[in-house]
Amino acid sequence: MIDTSHLALGELKEKISETLGLTRTREMTLQVVSFGYKNGMPIDADIVMDVRFLPNPHYIKGLRAKTGLDAPVQKYILSQPIARRFLDDWRRLILTLLPHYVKEGKSYLTIAIGCTGGRHRSVFCTRWLAQQLRSSGHPVQEFHRDIDA
């Protein structure tokens, strides 16, 4: 019998795993998803970031037909001072929050990043964040919902 009166969800999961002799990993499954607001927000997103404040490569000749996975678009976005500052702050915030989500018992987390069409800014930021999380030792799935829309 487990007294759950004063246990948070994460503590309850730990207690059950301990009682059953299960090994519990302190990691969670992360998914980072790019999307376009014109197609609606992903309904399963836990954290949503709007990057429409970044200058839009769609309006730059030669970049419109490309995506955030292409080097010229990445270079354009990174040339914006606000982009570099945002990305650094965003990475630090997410890395700060992850252990707290785990502590609360969350086993998966979906981070959605949106721009107008879901082809340039959100794709670049999603790829960048996924790479940063992987380099910090987190398993990450990366998905670009509207890149071909």
Q: 90-106: per-residue pLDDT in tens?
A: 999 999 999 999 888 88
Tokens representing residue 36 in the block? 């376009």
pLDDT at 26: 54
Give the pLDDT of residue 103: 86
Look up the domain containing 37 and give its range: 27-144
Of 24-38, 85-99, 115-129, give the lowest mean pLDDT range: 24-38
Sequence-distant (≥ 6) Cβ neighbours of residue 27 within 8 angstroms: 102, 138, 139
Number of domains in the chain: 1
- For residue 72, pLDDT beyond 80: yes
Residue 107 resides in a domain = yes
* pLDDT computed for residue 107 by the predictor: 87
Measured at the CA of 127, the angle between CA 38 and CA 36, to 5 degrees, comes to 0
Tell me which residue of 91, 85, 104 sits closest to 28, measured CA to CA. 104
SS3 per residue for 15-46: HHHHHHCCCCCCCCEEEEEEEEHHHCCCCCCC
